[in-house]
Structure 1
Amino acid sequence: MNFDFKKLIPHAIAVVIFVVVAIAYCKPALEGQVLNAHDNIGWKGMAQQSFEKKEQLGHFPKWTNSMFGGMPTYQIALEGTHNVSFHYVSYILTLGLPKPINFFFLACLCFYLLALVLKINPWIGIMGALAYAYSTYDPVIIGAGHDTKMLAIGYAPLVVAGLLLLFQKKWWLGSAALATGLALQLGTNHLQIVYYTLLILGAITVGYFIDSFKKKEIASALKATVIAAIIGIITLGTNAIGTLTTWEYAKESMRGGVSELKETKDKNTTSGGLDKDYAFMYSVGIAETFTLLVPGIYGGSNGGNEYKTSQFADEMQKVGYAEDQALQFANGISYWGQQQPTSGPVYFGAVIMLLFLFAMFFEKGWLKWSLFAAGLFGIILAWGKNVEAINYFLFDYLPLYKKFRAPSMGLVMPQLCFVILAVVAVNNLLFGDNSTEKIKKAFKQTATATAAIVAILGILYFSFDYMSPNDVRLKENMVGAMLQQATQQGQQPTAELQQQAEQFGKGFVTAIQTDRKGLFAGDLARTVILLALALVMLWLAANKKLKPLPVMVILLLLSSFDLLSVGKRYLNDGNFVDPSDFDNAFAMTDADKMIKQDKGYYRVLNTTVDFTNESVTAYHHNSIGGYHPAKLQIYQDLIENQIGKNNMQVLNMLNTKYFIVQNPQNGQPIAQQNPGAFGPVWFVKGIKYVTNGKEEMKALDSTNLRDTAVVQTKFKSLIANEPVADSTASIQLIENKNDIINYESNAATNQFAVFSEIYYTAGWNAFIDGKKAEIVKTNYALRGLAVPAGKHKIEFRFEPKSYELGDTLNLVSSILVYLIVLGGLFMAWKTSKQA
């Protein structure tokens, strides 16, 4: 009854600001529109069959047939068997706001809570929260549909806050906060962001231990670390289904399953992880790191909204393009860095970067160096292959790191660490007990360092060539277009005409390079102005010329204007569409309608698209292709070595009954039936044994797979009797429920059946008349089974033990986390009341 509710007013104001800014930034979401995001479309295509099966069966199947010949569903859509989940707490933290408003609000709220733990003034905390939530990486990934990644980024500050509370010896509240943050972040199942968060926690822990050792308080440090470790283990169980099944699946996928076709000594190959060429594809150029301060230094993105006017667009309009189309084309080829393509730069904001720089000269103590070390380490990781000696070593030997790709994601570490340092420094400047000499010295050092950085940026501006790896192709396309037009008009391809065409193509390249240089110049000028204004505010604060409140408000407005305006280049009203327009991506074509008339069990290859990077086909059919960043390694090998070269024997064994091709007359997709497809299962006349996977794959080039199965000799012991030809033998599919598949066979002699289903050891079991039978890896990627003579019922059941164990651990751990959080909050309240 004695509680002073006035203390809540600043926090209520903060929450209102976070909601208002998020709504203003994503206003179409309140009008019922949805993000037209590539990955959202991809996920819906991947998951559609699972949702349809849930309606039929009452539960999510653990296996899907819709992509890559079949794969575990829990790599796409995950569901436990009970309703006890800590995930419900996320609705409280996001106030039930619609997507993507909830993403921005969550990131703001969690960072604000972290600021309170660090005893930051609420206004400074609001500035830091908005800076963290609207750093351009966040709107970029939201616009691309990386929902789980953004949620994991949003929860990261809460995880850090929990650990810091423990280090502050606030055992109950720290336990509650850490358990909440870790459980919710793990629940996103975006383990790469979790990994980066743990690296930050590790850096903070090392710094705290060093400081505790100096102060002879190592006992409390050990106590806090033990509590944190116990909470970490318990919360890990709240996502045990995702963690255990992913760990198991990774061993067979591109992220951990070493191909039988590759040499393990190859520099590109990492044992138990991704190939380095694939993993390091999105490495940030060392000079490109300056996008943290100047967003347009490398052209921004491929498809953002950088240009309002453009020389390239002007050139395009001269050859007949409409103004909006020309600008769209220019924005599509604006980026000229190494990450081809990219949806946008990582920009922390000029104001925030200046305040971070000030912190490096002004702040002292273990937290500063821990956060700086973590942020710098994240930048080094983001450089990827550009510092090969370091990152290839880390990739091979840093635990679990070899499972992840896109090094650029490492910049989420400095995104959090640098913003924390910025707000800590401002808070200390305005409210700390510092000497005038110390403040002025730090200000002078900051101003000098800022001038040096601006000078470096100026040198880069004049030294860059602004050439993209794609400019050569751009020029060739324009040259070809001009020559084709001239030929159609009856002109002869003379040397003079060729020269004119070359100049024509070169003009477009010169124009886009001029645009890129202009973008750099404009953003550099913008950054210099913001740096100057922020420096003025620091000077006014350092010399006591202005009171803390106006300094805080002005810095808040400057920083927010800075980031929100740049972020709008990559996430704006144009990213939203009506739900019906979003669903139009899955509208059935005439080809789809024709194929859907067939009620049998078969697969489809869509040749009108990149079949390994789209899932719209999987929305309607069992697809040979699909969209997933962690395909089974054996299937990836099949794509690279057989499907990619259209080996019809392999396509037939995959039961590819229909091809979707482009009608040459109107360009529309049409369906072509393949009468040679082998069907869901067949008996073979004999078995060809080979010594290893390389020979097995090579044998697929020339073997009649309808009559002969290819099996490695190491599986020969699983075949009790060799098949004996029987012209009357039959085997047929009775029912396929994804998790359970039933067949019936009848033969006078022993047979060997090949099933057009992907071989996966972690969970599939076979039974003949109820008795367990051994599944044989056949034709490199399929399942085979020795079937004795007579009539038999054959059943395949997908029963992964990892899922069953994970489901149990989920239940137990979720209950424990609820107890930790509720108990911790109660005890913290009780302790506070007693105090």
Structure 2
Amino acid sequence: MKKLSLNALLPYILCIVLFYAVTIIYFKPEFFDGKSLFQSDIVQYEGASKEANDFNKTHEEKTLWTGTMFGGMPIYLIHADYPDLALAMIDWTFKGIFFRDKNAHQLLLTLITTFFALACFGVRPWIAAIGAVAFGLSTYNLIIIEVGHMTKSWAIAYAPLVLAGMYLAFQKEKIWQGFALFTLALALELRANHLQITYYLAFIAVFYGVSELVFAFKNKTLPDFAKATALLIVGASLAVGTSAGRILTTLEYGKYSQRGPAELTPLDAEAQGTGDGLDRDYAYNWSQGKFETLTLLIPNLYGGSSNEKLSKKFETYQILQNAVQQGQLSPEEFKQYIERAPFMYWGDQPFTGAPVYAGAVVCFLFILGLLLIEDRYRYWLLAGVVMMMMISWGRNLEWFNYTMFDYFPGFNKFRSVSMALSLAVMLMVIVGILGLKNLIEVGQNQQDFNMIFKKILIAFGATGGLALLLWLVAGSLDMSSPTDEQLGGLRDAVLEDRAMMLRNDALRTFFFITLSVVAIYFFLKKKISLQITTLIIGLLITVDLWTVGKRYLSESDFSKSRRTSVHQPTPADEKILKDKDLSYRVLNLNNPFSDAQTSYFHKSLGGYIAAKLRRYQDLIERQLSKEMQMMIGDLQKGRPQFANYRIINMLNTRYIKANESENGVLRNPNAYGNAWFVSNILEVKNADEEMKALDTLRPDSVAVIDISKFQVSKKQFATVGEIKMTAYQPNRLEYEYTADNESFAVFSEIYYPEGWTATIDGQPAKFVRVNYILRGMEVPQGKHKIAFTFHSKAYETGSTITMISCVLVLLLSVGALGFTFWKGK
């Protein structure tokens, strides 16, 4: 057993302290001023999960269903607890135990995981720390913290550790440590629960595996490769087991969500896609432009973001200021424009919170690294970067992405493909830091200076030279956007400002790269020490990324009022909340299907989630949207015709929010209620006919049923009787009814094929889907009680597997850590 000295551990300890310091300084308003970020996605999450969270606090059995979003849906993708405490403890150790309730933990996590990953790749602590800061402060990582994409942030943060585990596993003498690290890292990666990032990471892992296979074949080490691969497969299986609950429930829900098979014939004959998964145009709406990818090198190449801050040096600022003086623009409008100008960005995406900027010095080191690192790592890392770029281009690279979308398993389940660039940045940092590591070794060994400096000049030309070229030609580039026609008299000024932004940042990039080349030159010439060189490169990268990052996540984005004001009920909410009936729904006419704030207080027809139930989305597109437009038109005329909004009525929509004032609330007297009896059954043969029937259906008296999936005993029923809801919990609904004859009840609850069971007087009862989306049931005559209860077999099975797997992974991790310390490595 080798003894680990404090001197050996001290650099690692100091680096961790440094990461805490960087995090605290960057998030100073959160630590010292009691402020927090608004984080739009977190606000939506809080609204979406409110009912379930409140219920779970007071009930031993946790609910897996919520009635407050889209009429009702499983809560798997919103919020669900799994028995993974063992893994959670490790997770929060990485995130910083004392940072747990702060947004800052996302930056700290990325810094720590990247640092340890690079250390596993054999990089010295202080060089690894530079790489950690480079990745942690890249603009994409910062902007997703600002908007609240926490699961994505966590998944990106754990990605380097997954690759580090693979690296160690392919080193014969460290195979067992690699097996343990890979298993733990992948378990944490999956726990982050952002499958799109994990899916893209899998491509990189495959490239790495293929590269190692080629290396093993050339070096006649195939048995070692086979052993490592076998262990990695075992580790991946264990890691998947730790998230079995999440995976099984996601697979279950996915079959019935927008990302599952389509059931209706497309309205548009030219609709794209295979019918299984997302619509192609929707999936590729956020596609990175090919040339726009150069924002990795020059942040303002495409006008920065869709919320740029304008200073007095902008021509646009001067024109807007003149408009205020002439009374053409109010001071409030002027302030809004200069603080969040939406017209500077001119790229291919609908809008963007920030350009994906890797850093000037990072881009230089990336090219240099490709020229310096050994072939065993060069090609899979480069292939990963290229692959992530190609994916991010989406519709701008049709031959690749449309083919993958139509034929490659799982590819059509994801949208906003531009996020793939985040993993490209990760790989660029790894290449750059490995290149810097090799450069230092070359400098210390006094190898051929001319050969090395030639490669430095190539990297300088490819990055600094390109930046200088763009600085020179900025004024002659076409920087117009299709939306510029809306700018009117501002257009020329905006175009000039875009060119100015490019020139300034291109020169800035050239400056940082030049300084890094000078530092490396003096190091190779033995004019400055390794320590000074490391400090200079580290400072250049930090200052570069810090200052650009502050453009998009700065102190002005923090507010003391966020936590106390964001979920305050409006006068409209307060008026509706006076109605204490068990269950009714609310329709907010202001963008309801991208709004979970209404769900915070009410059972909403709308909500916010990336994957709604497929049938509910169909209902939105083909029925609800039409009725909403009809309603808005009627309201503008001052004559709402509530009886005509048949689909809205069958969803038990008692209140309409036209605006947030008390007078903006309209009570719908024609809502059908929680349940009602119908006299006739209309039989259809498929989903298309079922949806078509809703165009003219009178749901208060007729129910339509797809007889290819469900059967009823007869087509006509008596309607003499009464049915009402007597108890409501999100996962249990109770009703009482009286009926003089056998009857057919329709419930204004969303039909979901898995988990829901029904009883009549405690005995199992059958129910069917009616009206494309609702539940229906034949009920016997007399006075009886009906109950619907939701239990998920996928959740229960997955939770058992999760618990067992987490214990195994914890034991494996502790064992590997103990073995590493015992060996003194």
Match of 1:58 among 50, 57, 60: 60
Match of 1:760 among 752, 759, 778: 752
Match of 1:618 among 572, 575, 599: 599
Per-residue CA deviations over 1:14-72 (Å, capped at 9, x if unaligned) read 11211111111110111332211111111111111111112332343110000100011
- Secondary structure in 1 aligned to 2:769? strand
Match of 1:102 among 95, 105, 117: 105
Cα distance change, pair 250–829 in 1 and its aligned pair in 2 (3 A): same
Per-residue CA deviations over 1:85-136 (Å, capped at 9, x if unaligned) read 4111122212224322211111111111112112112221111110011110
Structure 1 vs Structure 2 CA RMSD: 2.1
Is this contact kept in 1: 2:678–2:717, CA < 8 A?
no
Give the AA of the match of 2:286. Y
Deviates more, 1:590-599 or 1:769-778: 769-778
Deviates more, 1:239-248 or 1:440-449: 440-449
Is this contact kept in 2: 1:307–1:331, CA < 8 A?
no
Is this contact kept in 1: 2:468–2:510, CA < 8 A?
no
- C-alpha distance in structure 1 between counterparts of 2:224 and 2:154, whole Å: 32
Residue 452 of structure 1 deviates from its aligned partner by 5.1
**Is 2:225 the counterpart of 1:221?**
yes
- What is the percentage of aligned positions where both structures have the same residue? 35
Match of 2:331 among 292, 300, 322: 322
**Is 2:246 the counterpart of 1:236?**
no
Is this contact kept in 1: 2:297–2:463, CA < 8 A?
no
**Is 2:653 the counterpart of 1:652?**
no
Residue in 2 that maps onto 1:88: 89
Per-residue CA deviations over 1:329-357 (Å, capped at 9, x if unaligned) read 56332211111111011000010000111
Per-residue CA deviations over 1:629-672 (Å, capped at 9, x if unaligned) read 11001111111111111161000000000001138xxx776211
Residue in 2 that maps onto 1:512: 494
- C-alpha distance in structure 2 between counterparts of 1:640 and 1:589, whole Å: 29
Residue in 1 that maps onto 2:463: 450
- C-alpha distance in structure 2 between counterparts of 1:429 and 1:726, whole Å: 84
Is this contact kept in 2: 1:182–1:235, CA < 8 A?
yes
Per-residue CA deviations over 1:534-574 (Å, capped at 9, x if unaligned) read 22223333444433222111111101110011001111111
Residue in 2 that maps onto 1:378: 388
Is this contact kept in 1: 2:273–2:405, CA < 8 A?
no
Is this contact kept in 2: 1:304–1:343, CA < 8 A?
no
- C-alpha distance in structure 2 between counterparts of 1:538 and 1:267, whole Å: 55
Residue in 2 that maps onto 1:781: 773
Residue in 2 that maps onto 1:133: 136
Is this contact kept in 2: 1:602–1:657, CA < 8 A?
no
**Is 2:685 the counterpart of 1:691?**
yes
Cα distance change, pair 398–306 in 1 and its aligned pair in 2 (3 A): farther
- Secondary structure in 2 aligned to 1:628? coil
* Matched residues, number: 795
- Secondary structure in 2 aligned to 1:701? coil
**Is 2:188 the counterpart of 1:184?**
yes
Cα distance change, pair 617–35 in 1 and its aligned pair in 2 (3 A): same
Aligned positions of 1:419-498 closer than 5 A: 419-432=429-442, 433=445, 434-450=447-463, 453-454=466-467, 457-458=470-471, 461-473=474-486, 475=487
Cα distance change, pair 514–259 in 1 and its aligned pair in 2 (3 A): farther
- Secondary structure in 1 aligned to 2:593? coil
Match of 1:598 among 579, 591, 603: 579
Give the AA of the match of 1:322. P
- C-alpha distance in structure 2 between counterparts of 1:122 and 1:731, whole Å: 70
- Secondary structure in 2 aligned to 1:74? coil
**Is 2:814 the counterpart of 1:822?**
yes
- Secondary structure in 2 aligned to 1:331? coil
Residue in 2 that maps onto 1:165: 168
Per-residue CA deviations over 1:236-260 (Å, capped at 9, x if unaligned) read 1111111111111011111123142
Residue 287 of structure 1 deviates from its aligned partner by 0.8
Give the AA of the match of 2:37. L
Residue in 2 that maps onto 1:311: 315
Cα distance change, pair 760–464 in 1 and its aligned pair in 2 (3 A): farther
- Secondary structure in 1 aligned to 2:56? helix
- C-alpha distance in structure 2 between counterparts of 1:603 and 1:294, whole Å: 53
Aligned positions of 1:250-649 closer than 5 A: 250-262=254-266, 268-305=272-309, 307=311, 309-320=313-324, 321-322=330-331, 325=335, 327-328=337-338, 331-432=341-442, 433=445, 434-450=447-463, 453-454=466-467, 457-458=470-471, 461-473=474-486, 475=487, 506-578=488-560, 580-646=561-627, 648-649=645-646
Residue 267 of structure 1 deviates from its aligned partner by 5.3
Residue in 2 that maps onto 1:725: 718
Under a length normalisation based on structure 2, what TM-score does the superposition of the two structures give?
0.93
Give the AA of the match of 1:537. A
Aligned positions of 1:32-47 closer than 5 A: 32-47=34-49
Deviates more, 1:580-589 or 1:70-79: 580-589
Is this contact kept in 2: 1:235–1:817, CA < 8 A?
yes
- C-alpha distance in structure 2 between counterparts of 1:668 and 1:346, whole Å: 43
Q: Which runs of 5+ in 1 are unaligned?
A: 476-505
Cα distance change, pair 338–174 in 1 and its aligned pair in 2 (3 A): same
Residue in 2 that maps onto 1:809: 801
Residue in 1 that maps onto 2:633: none
- Secondary structure in 2 aligned to 1:87? helix
- Secondary structure in 2 aligned to 1:662? coil
Cα distance change, pair 736–174 in 1 and its aligned pair in 2 (3 A): same
- C-alpha distance in structure 2 between counterparts of 1:36 and 1:130, whole Å: 24
- C-alpha distance in structure 2 between counterparts of 1:55 and 1:410, whole Å: 37
- C-alpha distance in structure 2 between counterparts of 1:514 and 1:770, whole Å: 74
Give the AA of the match of 2:127. I
Residue 265 of structure 1 deviates from its aligned partner by 8.8
Residue in 2 that maps onto 1:491: none
Match of 2:151 among 136, 148, 153: 148
- Secondary structure in 2 aligned to 1:561? helix
- Secondary structure in 1 aligned to 2:708? helix
Residue in 1 that maps onto 2:637: none
Cα distance change, pair 261–307 in 1 and its aligned pair in 2 (3 A): farther
- C-alpha distance in structure 2 between counterparts of 1:264 and 1:237, whole Å: 41
Per-residue CA deviations over 1:432-458 (Å, capped at 9, x if unaligned) read 454334313312322333365236535
- C-alpha distance in structure 2 between counterparts of 1:95 and 1:175, whole Å: 25
- C-alpha distance in structure 1 between counterparts of 2:589 and 2:130, whole Å: 48
- Secondary structure in 1 aligned to 2:466? helix
- C-alpha distance in structure 1 between counterparts of 2:98 and 2:129, whole Å: 19
Is this contact kept in 1: 2:364–2:460, CA < 8 A?
no
Give the AA of the match of 2:129. I
Q: Which runs of 5+ in 2 are unaligned?
A: 325-329, 628-643
Residue in 1 that maps onto 2:119: 116
Is this contact kept in 1: 2:310–2:339, CA < 8 A?
no
Cα distance change, pair 409–330 in 1 and its aligned pair in 2 (3 A): closer
Cα distance change, pair 426–26 in 1 and its aligned pair in 2 (3 A): same
Deviates more, 1:419-428 or 1:689-698: 689-698
Per-residue CA deviations over 1:254-298 (Å, capped at 9, x if unaligned) read 112314242899551234311111111100001100100000011
- Secondary structure in 1 aligned to 2:412? helix
- C-alpha distance in structure 2 between counterparts of 1:66 and 1:544, whole Å: 67
Is this contact kept in 1: 2:309–2:340, CA < 8 A?
no
Give the AA of the match of 1:190. H
Under a length normalisation based on structure 1, what TM-score does the superposition of the two structures give?
0.92
Is this contact kept in 2: 1:604–1:660, CA < 8 A?
no
Cα distance change, pair 827–10 in 1 and its aligned pair in 2 (3 A): closer
- C-alpha distance in structure 2 between counterparts of 1:528 and 1:111, whole Å: 27
- C-alpha distance in structure 2 between counterparts of 1:326 and 1:73, whole Å: 37
